[in-house]
Structure 1
Amino acid sequence: MAKRVDIISDTHGWLSDALLAQLEGADLIIHAGDITSETDYEHLKTIAPVRAVLGNNDYYRDYGRDVGRILRFTYEGLRFVVAHYHSDLLLDEADVAVCGHTHRAQITEEAGCLVVNPGSPTFPRGARGATMARLMVDEGRVLSAEILDLER
């Protein structure tokens, strides 16, 4: 059965109602850093399991020992690597790589790896506006990958 992976980054201490509504029903939430709120991190964990990394504004926060600079894990047969900075992604070790920091949403393929930057639901840069990303995955395959536009 396909699983829904919702990907966010750069929330910077504010989870909008539009973002929270989209996250409902996720099987997994990936946060690519700059959460900047222990309370927000705990709130996200009430919606779905969360895999998160530290962003450049998170180093004085305490999210627990599971949240570090780079994260590698396997989910539904896919190898994921997550880092706040694109330059820290280990593309040769992953099927899906997730980064943030730029506040600009983009899904690309690099070196045979799907690279997802969900943008920012809080402080977007560029004309697109507030965004997040969503993957549907099943048995080692990415069935779909899309950027979702959010109201602010």
Structure 2
Amino acid sequence: MADTDFSLGSGNVRPKRIDIISDTHGYLSRSLLETIDGADLLIHAGDITSEADWDLLNTLAPIKGVLGNNDYCYHYHPELKALNRFTYEGLSFAVAHYREDLPVGSVDVAICGHTHRARVVELGRCTVINPGSASYPRGTRGATIARMIVAEGTILSVEIIDL
């Protein structure tokens, strides 16, 4: 889908694929790495717990991330904090490990982790995403990530992908 042109706004644009992961806890499976290959942007919602994994993810695509509750003894990029707010493809994003730390009312997309359980919820104009855990899921569902397709300030799709 990422190679398809869509007529949006003033002309044809290539939609961007954002792959969202969380709670990898020092383990990046082959399935995860194959699934996120080709993403235009990676977002990690915390509990990376491996400097080598952070470095590897940075070789695959540009990455935005936050610190999780198990990340404070690691030395990642100095700008990696508990909350990350940014704009991408005309959409405002906020990423935090904990749901309660997200400024849901003031962004288009709010992303959290911590629970290891995947969930997508619409709250007013905000899409709230927890991708679950790509490495250590909880509950009956296996390892998951979330994938968004966006273009020109529009969310074209959001899905939870089972690894």
TM over 0.5: yes
TM-score (norm 1): 0.97
Rg comparison, structure with higher value: 2
Note the alpha carbon deviations across 1:40-85, whole angstroms, 9 max, x for none. Answer: 0000000000000000000111112221000000000000000000
- Give me the CA root mean square deviation: 0.6
In structure 2, distance between residues paired with 1:105 and 1:50? 20
Q: Which amino acid aligns with 2:123?
A: E
- Which shifted more, 45-54 or 58-67? 58-67
Per the normalisation by structure 2, the TM-score is 0.91
Partner residue in 2 for 1:45: 58
Partner of 2:34: 21
Q: 1:65 aligns with which of 59, 78, 85?
A: 78
- Cα distance in 2 for partners of 1:66, 1:51 equals 10
In the aligned structure 1, how far is the partner of 2:124 from the partner of 2:100? 14
SS in 2 for 1:20: helix
> Which residue of 2 is the match for residue 130 of structure 1?
143
Q: Determine which of 71, 77, 93 is the counterpart of 2:106.
A: 93
Q: Secondary structure at the match of 1:81?
A: strand
